[in-house]
Amino acid sequence: MTARAYLGAGDLYLAPFVGNVAGPWSGPYECNKFEIKPNVNLLEQTSKSRDGYGQVVETVALNQPADLTVDLTEVNRETLAIALLGTTIALTQASGTLAAQVVTAKAGKWAEIGKIMLTEASVTVSGGAVAASVTGAIAADVLTVSAVSSGSLSVGQVISGSGLTAGTKILEQLTGTAGGVGTYKVSISQTFASGAITGAVGGSLVNGVDYLLNARQGWIKPIAGGSVVDNQPLKVSGPYELVAGSDIRGATQAQLRVKIRLDGKNQVDDSPLFITVHEAVIAADAAFDFLGDGFGTVSMPGRMKTPAGFPAPFNVHYPTAA
């Protein structure tokens, strides 16, 4: 280094430890801070003599672990895992097709379909009801089913019979066997003597009229005023995409051990500068704001240790051509 001033630039490389062995280098990463701070513990012996009370008789400085602070401006799945002290695993979903996947609708709430990244234009949704033939009677808004000939009743199903008010729909099962003998709340109050009742097969529903679909997350929600009622089973059919990526399981590690290399240079004279931290213990306790107004930064504060076989926790090299 021949320049009399220093203005640094550099690329950062990381090699996380797996067990007690540093893995392969990854990077380079954009970095706007690479700060090393040596620490000492100053011990002083002071006098309690009559005329020299409080004066320093002897002092000694003892080495302490050096601090390291690295701020990464390159935020990706690898550096984000560091920021969140997380463990990264593969995120996979094979492509496929839902075939009448049954989902229970929740009024005003989103329900999970079970797959993400649905192909929205190809998704179809229908009421989950199957054809049913039962014997029952209605008093006010309660249907009492005494026998089931075939199929089963379900919430949201439209029922019909001779003398039964058109458009009557099952809103809730009150008692009995699911979909069978028991009592049900219906949408229209009426009197219907015991007789044959037919439960209709669930019909097709319209996106934006009867329900909302969040295809990315694989969520569905009934629209108020549509034909879907609370707790109604829906049948969802359609393709979903092949998904690959990473799943960061956050806050699964208290610390991260990593080897660090800065491939730097002095902007003043373009002289190269290599800094190697042989092993740093990173405890990323800084918050990461996923909705910040500016660009995110991954802060990596930590301490350096001197591994076995090394004379120092870090080295700064100024290579020159021979």
The candidate with the shortest Cα–Cα distance to 300, out of 82, 86, 74, is: 82
pLDDT of residue 61: 95
What span, in angstroms and rounded, lies between the C-alpha atoms of 218 and 119? 10
Looking up tokens 């996106």, which residue turns up? 207
Q: Is 2 left (phi over 0), alpha (psi -120 to 50) or beta?
A: alpha
Q: Say what the pLDDT of residue 82 is.
A: 85
Total Cβ atoms within 10 A of residue 282: 24
pLDDT by 10-residue block (mean), the chain, 322 residues: 89 92 95 95 96 96 94 92 90 97 97 98 97 98 98 97 97 96 98 97 97 98 96 98 95 91 96 96 87 94 94 94 70
Q: For residue 218, what is the DSSP state?
A: T
pLDDT at residue 295 in the model: 95
Looking at 45-203, list the stretches that DSSP marks H as alpha helix, in order from N- to C-terminal side: 77-83
Helices (H), ranges, 240-279:
none
Q: How many CB atoms lie within 10 A of CB 47?
A: 13
Q: Do residues 172 and 156 lie in contact, with contact meaning Cβ atoms separated by under 8 Å? A: no
Q: What is the pLDDT of residue 287?
A: 87
Share of the chain above pLDDT 90, in %: 90
